[in-house]
Amino acid sequence: MNPISNEYKTVFSTVPFEEIKNEHYLPALEEGIKIAKDNLAKIKANPEPATFENTIVALERSGDAVDKVAEIFFNLLSAETNDEMQEIAKEFSPKITAYGNDILLDAELFSKVKEVWENKDSFSLDAEDLKLLEKNYKSFVRNGALLNETQKSELRSIDEELSTLSLNFGNNNLKETNKYEMVLENESDLAGLPDGAKEAAAMIAKEKGYEGKWVITLDYPSLIPFMTYAENRDLREKLYRANTTKSCKGDELDNKENVKRFSVLRHKRANLLGYASHADFTLEERMASTPGNVGEFLENLLSKSKPHAQNEIEELKKYVIANGGPEDLQNWDTAFWSEKLKKEKFSVDDEMLKPYFKLENVIDGVFQVASKLYGLNFNERSDIQKYHKDVMTYEVTDESGKHIAAFYADFFPRATKRNGAWMTAYRGQSNFAGEEKRPHISIVCNFTKPTETKPSLLTFNEVTTLFHEFGHALHGMLADTKYPSLSGTSVFWDFVELPSQILENWAYEQECLALFAKHYETGEVIPSELVQKIKDSASFHAGMGTMRQLSFALLDMAWHSGDNSSVDDAEAFEKKAMESTTLLPKVDGSMMSTSFGHIFAGGYSSGYYSYKWAEVLDADAFEHFKENGIFNREIAKKFKDNILSKGGTEHPMELYKKFRGAEPTPDALLRRSGLI
């Protein structure tokens, strides 16, 4: 029997990872699709008039078996992949795409949905029912239900090619990252690196068979410390070039043609559906609404941040020259010299802070924050099956002891995991048809690993990353809706980052840090003067940081706001798209697009601006907490009841106004960043 297709007889019905093998995925998918198609056939064959229950609710439940296997497969394809899984994905992904199109392009099924939509006033539907109906109707229309058969066939072809492109793009990046090794034989090449980073480099070398040497990789816990602290400028340049030329070297892992093809196909798809561009299509279902609004938003931030960024870069250049550095400041110099300037200005750096951020303590810290705000408790469980030995597993309960969620945490880099950090779910929350299902939530990160002499000590950036992903996790855990497709993080993309980004704010507050930031050797709580230095330095180079984010958002919009079929040189196209944000000379041969997984292998196409958009929301929202106390339970309840629990059941701006009382303005963000 296939362990994926069976009913799980595990604690909390969690995924039986230890029983699942690669050969189970495709049969489970095929069985799930068969069940789903049988369910859809029953909806269409029902002789009764179409109703909300017999059509929309039935449609919501029809694909449960497909969702179950897809969630497992695609999550592990990112977090614990292997060559065999990547081969399976080449068949799995097109099958999922075809299955989705079979539903959305089914004229008979759409006629049933349309009938319910047109007669919605005759049913006794609450607000959430209406939202589900609207989402279903729009989903059909936005994915081709009104097209003729020739057009539907073209749409299917485009979607299948896009799914294959996405897999190839991600696989190329992962292989490119995994194959790079900068092997160092002389300890002098590591001059400037903290002891922990040296020890980690030696440990990587040992794992890779280079006993007695040091290896630097493109995994962030290896890359970032080297770029920040290594005194050898030539080696920093070498590493920078390796990182910024990923998948754009003209070899078998090159993504330049994939990027151009993505842009062309997405534009063609949007035109087919009656939209001027992919950005117009995407933004119809976003808070920002139109490409024009996004452009105005980005230009507003650009005009306010660019003068600050230019002043910051000039100050840095003067500092570098005054301290014997190069007169031609380059991109591989900025992290190194910025860290020195930051330490001189604020007397604080990561090495000073890391002893206070032992991973286990930071985990306990986010748990305590969740307890103080929302009354949650996290109990580690050894009886929840794992997909890798490093994964930590918990049961989440409320103050009364009621089960709220199962929680997985996966923190360290490995060759089978892609770079970055993300939150995901193995089961979403729902409560309809007489059955309440609580969610199974996971966060996946790539943090500094423990060494033979030191525990995992996080940089402050890693601390805020953990808070960020845990904020997403709370959005999933505290979901309280009827329907799974409206639950948790199933919200507009430019709203989904609010719960994650707002939680980062707590990591800067003394009242929060005092709970967990304790020296791993002495147990001393982080001194208040050090916390003040963290806060004082938080807006250091905020202009440059904002420009970096804006450059990515502008690049995203450039690829998706028009017809790029005539683009021949992807590198030149990228350079033009980002030129308004360029502060230092571009390095020939380097590209962002070819490793820009967010927009080409993730869900952020025409949506990268949402990080800055959500910063406006989170800065404004956190001011409400600050005014009333960062652990104020009444404000936390308002945030939980109106944001975290509601998912996509209402328009996000309406939810936000219910929490805050008014729409946000950028002022809070600009104040926090020191830009006004």
Structure confidence by residue, pLDDT tens digits, 464-510: 999 999 999 999 999 999 999 999 999 998 899 999 999 999 999 99
CA 54 – CA 414 distance, rounded (Å)? 47
Q: What pLDDT was estimated at residue 350?
A: 86
Q: What pLDDT was estimated at residue 482?
A: 97
Residue partners of 82: CB distance under 8 A and separation at least 6: 22, 416
Q: What pLDDT was estimated at residue 349?
A: 87
| Structural domain boundaries, residue 196 | 180-244
Query: How many structural domains comprise the chain?
Result: 4
Q: Is 299 in the same domain as 412?
A: no
Q: Is 214 helix (H, G, I), strand (E, B) or coil?
A: strand
pLDDT digits (tens, 9 = 90+) for 455-464: 999 999 999 9
More confident residue, 448 or 521: 521
Residue 572 lies in a domain: yes
Q: What pLDDT was estimated at residue 493?
A: 86
CA 567 – CA 248 distance, rounded (Å)? 16
pLDDT digits (tens, 9 = 90+) for 328-361: 999 999 999 999 999 999 998 888 999 999 999 9
Picking from 194, 215, 244, the residue at the C-terminal end of a domain is: 244
Residue 92 lies in a domain: yes
CA 387 – CA 6 distance, rounded (Å)? 18
Q: Is 468 in the same domain as 557?
A: no
Percent of the chain with pLDDT over 90: 94
Checking if the pLDDT of 673 tops 90, the result is no
Q: Is 430 in the same domain as 317?
A: no
Residue 158 lies in a domain: no
CA 106 – CA 395 distance, rounded (Å)? 41
Contact yes or no for 295/557 (Cβ under 8 A): yes
Q: Is 195 in the same domain as 290?
A: no
φ/ψ region of 142 (left if φ > 0, alpha if ψ in -120 to 50, else beta) reads: alpha
Residue 255 tokens read as 């993504």
CA dist list (Å): 570 to 191, 262, 558, 591, 592: 37, 12, 11, 9, 10
Picking from 514, 538, 562, the residue at the C-terminal end of a domain is: 538
pLDDT digits (tens, 9 = 90+) for 512-559: 999 999 999 999 999 999 999 999 898 999 999 999 999 999 999 999
Which active-site residues does the annotation give? 469
Residue 478 lies in a domain: yes
Q: Is 455 in the same domain as 524?
A: yes
Checking if the pLDDT of 111 tops 90, the result is yes
CATH of the domain at 291: 1.10.1370.10
pLDDT band at 671 (very low <50, low <70, confident <90, very high): confident
Residue partners of 267: CB distance under 8 A and separation at least 6: 277, 278, 560, 562, 563, 564, 565
Checking if the pLDDT of 16 tops 90, the result is yes
Residue 473 lies in a domain: yes
pLDDT digits (tens, 9 = 90+) for 132-167: 999 999 999 999 999 999 999 999 999 999 999 999
Query: pTM of the entire structure?
Result: 0.87
CA 107 – CA 111 distance, rounded (Å)? 6
Q: What pLDDT was estimated at residue 130?
A: 97
CA 291 – CA 289 distance, rounded (Å)? 7
Neighbours of 629 (CB within 10 A): 12
Q: Is 112 in the same domain as 53?
A: yes
pLDDT, mean over the chain: 96
If residue 6 lies in a helix (H) or strand (E), which one and from where to where? none
Q: Is 373 in the same domain as 422?
A: yes
Among all chains, which residue has been given the structure tokens 């020259």?
321
Q: Is 429 in the same domain as 566?
A: no
CA 317 – CA 331 distance, rounded (Å)? 12
Q: What is the DSSP letter of 644?
A: I
Q: What pLDDT was estimated at residue 666?
A: 83
CATH of the domain at 89: 1.20.1050.40
Q: What pLDDT was estimated at residue 572?
A: 96
Residue 68 lies in a domain: yes
pLDDT band at 602 (very low <50, low <70, confident <90, very high): confident
Q: What pLDDT was estimated at residue 619?
A: 94
CA dist list (Å): 214 to 181, 187, 201, 217, 238: 10, 8, 5, 10, 15
What are residue 380's DSSP bridge partners? 394
Q: Is 378 in the same domain as 496?
A: yes
Residue 334 lies in a domain: no
Q: What pLDDT was estimated at residue 434?
A: 82
- b/e string for 478-494 if b means 16 or more Cβ within 10 A? bbbbbbbbbbbbbbbbb
Percent of the chain with pLDDT over 70: 100
Checking if the pLDDT of 676 tops 80, the result is no
Among all chains, which residue has been given the structure tokens 């209402």?
650
Checking if the pLDDT of 432 tops 80, the result is yes
β-pairing verdict for 392-397 and 377-380? antiparallel
What is the number of helices (H) and of strands (E) in the chain? 27, 9
What are residue 214's DSSP bridge partners? 184
Over range 267-291, report the average pLDDT: 97
Residue 566 lies in a domain: yes
Q: Is 508 in the same domain as 366?
A: yes
Q: Is 531 in the same domain as 543?
A: no
Picking from 495, 514, 538, the residue at the C-terminal end of a domain is: 538
C-alpha angle 440-505-399 in degrees, rounded to nearest 5:
45
CATH of the domain at 504: 1.10.1370.40
- Residue 131 CB-half CA count within 13 A: 20
What are residue 518's DSSP bridge partners? 525
Over range 645-673, report the average pLDDT: 92
Q: Is 608 in the same domain as 548?
A: yes
Query: Which residue type is seen at 35?
Result: I
